[in-house]
Structure 1
Amino acid sequence: MRTALVIGTGLIGTSAALALAGRGVRVHLSDRDASRVRTAAALGAGTEDAPDGPVDLALVAVPPGRVAATVADAQRRGLARACLDVASVKGGPRRELAELGGDPVSYLGSHPMAGRERSGPMAATADLFEGRPWVLTPTAATDTEVLNLALELVAVCRAVPVVMDADAHDRAVALVSHTPQLLSSLVAARLTDADETAVRLCGQGIRDVTRIAASDPGMWTEILSANPGPVAEVLSAVADDLAETVRALRALDSADEEKRRDGATGITDLLRRGNAGRERVPGKHGAAPAAYESVTVLIGDQPGELARIFADAGRAGINIEDVRIEHATGQQAGLIQLMVEPAAAPDLTAALRERGWSIRQ
């Protein structure tokens, strides 16, 4: 691939453009919003100039509802040898493109499973996709050269290609991406009118659950509008679970001992099913999740403290597998949880204590 056209210079489009430009591909940038093109170009993602002729790959990074029309327009104008979109919904745009008379041979739907709470070109980074799954949904009509160009793009972005059927992809993201977004927003919405005293008690649990609730509402409305059926199916099942959970909690509040036992059984069953589901979430490098041990350390809110504790762990010859930070409300300190292999936890604890760190059991 020597030339590319990125249509849509938001977070995903600009991040891909940065990765391509960094590998020497001449990238042309296009967007309805000229200011976003200028911003992306200033970041080094490519040029504002239109290409002189057909490019090797047109990357369509627009909302799902605009994908088919944008791809069809690019094909009619002969802008590229291949068209690839990166929208988070695949089945609908493919069918709409067929209705518009688009060419299925030179088109391939894709979806990089990466993103941030922030949007726009200023949030873009060339390493956004590194190590992340990038779904490709070729059909029997897809030209081999188009698939090869898509695989080259995925390799340049250092992502991991995953080939799926378009509709199977949409059902999958309804479960692992779209529904979590709505559930996070539902929990965060409960905080809107909550008493200030309650809000001040927020800890790491509520921060974890509501992190993605900070995402752009307009963008997510467009995404959910393109995949409403599968998301509604998942939420319907969640609603059934919620109804059962409410009944179990009401039973726990009953004066009848047998009802309380039934309620406790229902809650325990839910929590165990949650344990089982959580264990299926891939861990480090996509492998099965490991049972890491946590070493919790008190850390001050001063420049260089994170670097110092990581350096001390490195001097002890211990690899940090994961990390979490819990900030103390109203204090210039917090707790950092260093996740390590269980066998390494005692050595890390001893090494950090020797270097003056305060370990919390």
Structure 2
Amino acid sequence: MRTAAVIGTGLIGTSVALALTRRGVAVYLSDRDESALRTAASLGAGDVSEPSAPVDLAVVAVPPAHVATVLADVQRRGLASAYTDVASVKAGPQNAAAAHGVDQKSYIGGHPLSGRETAGPLGARADLFDGRPWVLTPTAETGRDALNRALELISLCGAVPVVMDAADHDHAVALISHTPHVVSAIMAARLEHASEDAARIAGPGVRDVTRIAAGDPQLWQEILSANATAVADVLEEYAADLNAAVGALRELTAQDADKQAAAREALVSLLRRGNAGQSRIPGKHGSPRAVYAAVPVVISDAPGELARLFAAAGAAGVNIEDVRIEHSPGQPVGLVTLQVAPESAEPLTARLTERGWTVRS
């Protein structure tokens, strides 16, 4: 691929453009939002001029409700040889594209499963898709050239291609992406009027659960609207479990010992189901989830301390598989928990202790 066009310079569109320019592809940008367009161009994402000839691939990076009309427009103008989109919902845009007369041979639906809480071009990164799944939803009419161009795009962006049916994709993302965002927002909404004391002692648990609630509400309204039925189905199942948990918790205060015992068993069953589901989430590089050992290290909140800790782990010959940072409320220190292979925990603890680090048991 030598040339590409990206229509829409938000987080995903600009990240695609940055990834392509990094690999030497000439990228042409367009967006109705002049400010976003100029910002993306200033970041080195591409050229804002019109290409002098059809580009190899056009990437439509607009909200799901607008994919079909934009596709129809750029195809009518002969912008590219092949077309794809990056909308997080596939069946609706695909059906709408057909209704708008979009040439199905030169178009293939796509969805990179990566993102950030920061919206807009300023949050874009060239490595946003590295190692991440990128779903393609070809139909019986999809041409070989469109498929190959989309596969080349995914390769240039460092992602991993996954081929799915559009409806199956929408049900899957409702479960693993869209519903979690709603649940995160509902949990975060409980904090809006929380007491100052409660907010001050908030720790990693609530931060983990509410992290994605920081997303752009207008963008997420459009995403949820485009996949409303599938998300509602998952939320209905979630609500049933939530109601069962509420009922079990209420029964724990009952005077009847049998009811208390049944309530405890119901809670344990729900928590075990959670264990089982969480264990199915793939680990690093998509491999089965591994069991790591935790090495908690006290660290001061000063420039260079985290780098010094990582350097000490590297000097010990230990690979850090994951890391979590907890800040102590009102104190200039924190706790960095290093996740390492079980056999590495003891020697790493000894090496760090020798070098003056405080390792908690």
Same fold per TM (> 0.5)? yes
Match status 1:138 vs 2:122: no
1:300 and 1:253 map into 2 onto residues whose CA distance is 44
Aligned partners of 2:245 and 2:95: how far apart in 1? 39
What's 1:283 paired with?
283
Q: CA deviation at 1:52?
A: 1.1
Specify the alignment match of 1:353 in structure 2: 353
User: Residue 204 of structure 2 corresponds to which residue in structure 1?
Assistant: 204
C-alpha displacement at 1:258, in angstroms?
Answer: 0.7
Q: Mean Cα displacement is larger for which, 95-104 or 231-240?
A: 95-104
Q: Report the equivalent of 1:18.
A: 18
| Superposition deviation, residue 25 in structure 1 | 1.0
1:249 CA displacement: 0.4
**Structure-2 separation of matches of 1:201 and 1:121:** 33
1:253 and 2:247 correspond: no
Helix, strand or coil at the partner of 1:273: helix
Matching residue of 2:54: 54
Whole-Å Cα distance in 1 between the matches of residues 354 and 119 of structure 2?
44
SS at match of 1:296: strand
Give TM-score, length-normalised by structure 2. Answer: 0.99
2:345 alignment partner, SS class: helix
Give the letter for the 2:359 counterpart.
Answer: I
2:82 match: secondary structure: strand
User: Which amino acid in the other structure matches residue 300 of structure 2?
Assistant: G
Q: Does 1:111 align with 2:111?
A: yes
The Cα RMSD (Å) is 0.6
Cross-structure match for 1:267: 267
Q: Output the TM-score relative to the length of structure 1.
A: 0.99
Q: Give deviations 1:114-163, integer Å, cap 9, x for gaps.
A: 00000111111100000000001111111111111101110000000000
Superposition deviation, residue 53 in structure 1: 2.1
Large movers: runs of 4+ above 4 Å: none
- Residue 324 of structure 1 aligns with which residue? 324
Query: Matched residues in 2 for 1:52 and 1:232: separation?
Result: 46
Paired amino acid for 1:178: H
Q: Report how many residues are paired.
A: 361
| 2:88 corresponds to 1:124 | no
Q: Distance in 1 between matches of 2:254 and 2:348?
A: 48
Helix, strand or coil at the partner of 1:109: strand
- Report the Cα distance in structure 1 between the residues aligned to 2:312 and 2:200, rounded to whole angstroms: 33
Cα distance between partner residues in 2 of 1:91 and 1:180: 20
Matched residue SS, 1:323: strand
Query: SS in structure 2 opposite 1:5?
Result: strand
* Aligned-pair CA distance for 1:17: 0.4
State how 1:336-351 maps to structure 2 within 5 Å. Answer: 336-351=336-351
Unaligned segments of structure 1, at least 5 residues: none
Give, as a single letter, the amino acid of the residue that structure 1 aligns with 2:100. Answer: L
Q: CA deviation at 1:84?
A: 0.5
- Give unmatched runs, 5+ long, in structure 2: none
Amino acid at match of 2:180: P
Partner Cα distance (1:304, 1:3) in 2 = 41
